[in-house]
Amino acid sequence: MVVLKKILVFILFFYLSSKNSFASQILDYETEKLIYDIIADIKKVNKIKKKIFFRINDNDEINAFVDETNTVHINSGLIQYSDDYVALLSVLAHEIGHIDLNHVSVRKKVLEDNKRNNDLTLLTVIAGSFMTQRPEFIQGSIVSSAAISNRYINFSKEQEIEADIYALKTLTLLNTNSNSVINLLKTIEQKLLEKGFSKDMQRISTHPYFKDRVQLIKFFEKNKNNNFNDDYNQRFNFIKAKFIGYSNINYKLSDLEEPFKTYAKSIRYSKNGDLKMSLKNLNNIIKQNSKNGFLLETKADILFSHGFTKEAVKFYKKNLKYYPYNFYAKIRIFENIKTENLSEYELMTIFQENKDLLFRYFNNKNVLFKYQKLSKQLKKIEWINFLNFYLEIGNMESSDINKKILSFKETKDKDLLKLLGLLENKIS
């Protein structure tokens, strides 16, 4: 029963960690841009050609992981608790190491082999025993499956150690100091201990002991060249302050340096309903950091959240002058265009100039509804029918969907055909 208890604790911990990690997605161009730049550096020194996809999760847990599609998931908590960009870089390098070393497909194969051998029988016995309230039936099966369970856990630890070494080699190739990585590991361990995940439980975790990881890092700290990227770190600190400001965690703002502490405060003032103090703090930071166009976007977000849409749009437009590819700002502007009293020419201009949003964010309901409204105003019958169909597709039978798609393929509108292609890829 002791073995069973430990395995069930492990399964429960793994399940809760995975479940908590999949949270709502954060769409923030500033953060994405920094992560893209860091990943580009990691790819360059490791000579990686393949694309690395990532997603930022709104989750205060300190975590990052690679899913079965080789997408790197990054929790907002990881950014909030990293001392500097190097800690974030090291975690990204670790996860990219899993991808570059082909760990995901290898792990899938091991799990599939285990399932074929014994896992299905074991889970059936456990489920049946719980239902019949007869746990003694588990004893025989758990013993026979112990070797398989240990094989999987040990194999996973080996993968994690390989990914750790990959990350540390990446830091060495970049001549970057790894002290902040040790601090992050200690913070993670402390957080887990506070939640009852004892050091003894680490033995059955898929990750190596924290003390082993720290020793590994220290072993790789032979290169004393400190190629610290001040620009990355400045950008990281503004992002970290923004995340902390918007987060509900009890993070001590006194731990932040200026102007990042004041920046986080300005966001918290806004969240607490004090728009005046929020803008007072934020305007001072904008004056001191006039080249940082992302601060203008934060001001727009704050104004928008308090109902000052017209004023917010002005600052989103200012942000776009700095960052023309900030499609999130562009979406916010597009969503709030007043079209009621515009001429046909003006409506057509808006319709044509924002199609990139429709193609890039095909699942964004606000963009779809806006195009539906524009199509009706311009009396574009094919577009009206298609958008009505797409917005109702969740309530339709698959056979009806296929018939509709075939009927739309008769159109001569190239943009509409492109949308049909996107739709087919989505439902295939």
Q: Does 53 share its domain with 131?
A: yes
Do 340 and 377 meet the contact criterion of CB atoms below 8 Å apart? no
Q: Does 274 share its domain with 128?
A: no
Phi, psi (rounded to 5 degrees) for 65: -160, 165
Q: Does 260 share its domain with 292?
A: yes
Q: Does 260 share its domain with 173?
A: no
pLDDT (0 to 100) of residue 88 = 96
Query: Would you place residue 127 in the very low, low, confident or very high pLDDT band (cuts 50, 70, 90)?
Result: very low
Going by C-alpha positions, the residue among 284, 361, 352 that lies closest to residue 329 is 361
Among 270, 288, 323, where does a domain finish? 323
Dist. CA 81–CA 84, nearest whole Å = 9
Task: Inform me whether the pLDDT recorded for 145 exceeds 70.
Answer: no
pTM of this structure:
0.80
Do 358 and 327 meet the contact criterion of CB atoms below 8 Å apart? no
Q: Does 257 share its domain with 213?
A: no
pLDDT (0 to 100) of residue 165 = 87
Residue of higher predicted confidence among 316 and 147: 316
Q: Does 75 share its domain with 120?
A: yes
Q: Does 23 share its domain with 170?
A: yes
Q: Which residue has the tokens 């004041």?
A: 262
What is the average pLDDT value for the chain, to the nearest integer? 82
Q: Does 263 share its domain with 187?
A: no
pLDDT (0 to 100) of residue 233 = 96
Query: Would you place residue 133 in the very low, low, confident or very high pLDDT band (cuts 50, 70, 90)?
Result: very low
Domain membership of residue 293 as a residue range: 246-323
Residue 108, both tokens: 């899938």
* 64-111 tens-digit pLDDT: 888 888 899 999 999 999 999 999 999 999 999 989 998 777 766 665
Task: Inform me whether the pLDDT recorded for 164 exceeds 60.
Answer: yes
The answer to whether the Cα torsion of 130, 136, 141, 146 is positive or negative is: positive
| Arithmetic mean of pLDDT, 179-194 | 82
Task: Answer yes or no: is 328 within a domain.
Answer: no
Listed in order, strand segments (DSSP E) in 18-165 are: 53-57, 64-66, 71-75
- Our count of domains for the chain comes to 3
Task: Answer yes or no: is 226 within a domain.
Answer: no
* 190-248 tens-digit pLDDT: 887 777 766 665 554 445 556 667 666 666 566 566 788 999 999 999 999 999 999 98
Query: Would you place residue 4 in the very low, low, confident or very high pLDDT band (cuts 50, 70, 90)?
Result: very low
Highest mean pLDDT pick, 95-99, 162-166, 329-333: 329-333
Task: Answer yes or no: is 235 within a domain.
Answer: no
* 5-51 tens-digit pLDDT: 333 333 333 333 443 445 699 999 999 999 999 999 999 999 999 99
Among 169, 204, 219, where does a domain finish? 219
Q: Does 319 share its domain with 350?
A: no
Query: Would you place residue 122 in the very low, low, confident or very high pLDDT band (cuts 50, 70, 90)?
Result: very low
Dist. CA 208–CA 137, nearest whole Å = 32
Among 219, 237, 258, where does a domain finish? 219
Task: Answer yes or no: is 234 within a domain.
Answer: no
Task: Answer yes or no: is 139 within a domain.
Answer: yes
pLDDT (0 to 100) of residue 174 = 92
Task: Answer yes or no: is 337 within a domain.
Answer: no
Q: Does 155 share its domain with 68?
A: yes
Query: Would you place residue 185 in the very low, low, confident or very high pLDDT band (cuts 50, 70, 90)?
Result: confident
pLDDT (0 to 100) of residue 376 = 97
| Arithmetic mean of pLDDT, 364-390 | 95
Task: Answer yes or no: is 250 within a domain.
Answer: yes
Residue of higher predicted confidence among 304 and 10: 304
Task: Inform me whether the pLDDT recorded for 250 exceeds 70.
Answer: yes
Residue of higher predicted confidence among 323 and 222: 323
Q: Does 138 share its domain with 183?
A: yes
Q: Does 50 share its domain with 141?
A: yes
Task: Answer yes or no: is 231 within a domain.
Answer: no
